[in-house]
Homo-oligomer: A and B are copies of this chain.
Amino acid sequence: MEGKNVCIRELADPVQINDCRKKVAANEKSFTQLSAILSLAGNDVRLKILYLLEEEKELCPCDLSDILGMSIPAISQHLRKMKDGDIVGSRKVGQTILYSLRTEHLKLLRPFFKIINQVNLKTETV
Contacts and interface: CB of A to CB of B under 8 A. Distances in A.
A41 B44 contact: no
Interface of A is mostly: helix
A51 B55 CA distance: 31
B12 A35 contact: no
B24 A48 contact: yes
Give the number of times this chain occurs in the complex, counting copies.
Answer: 2
Interface string A28-71: 01111011111111111011100110011001101101111111
Interface residues on A, range: 35 or more
A29 B119 contact: yes
Contacts of A67: 17, 20-21, 24
A68 to B, nearest CB: 7
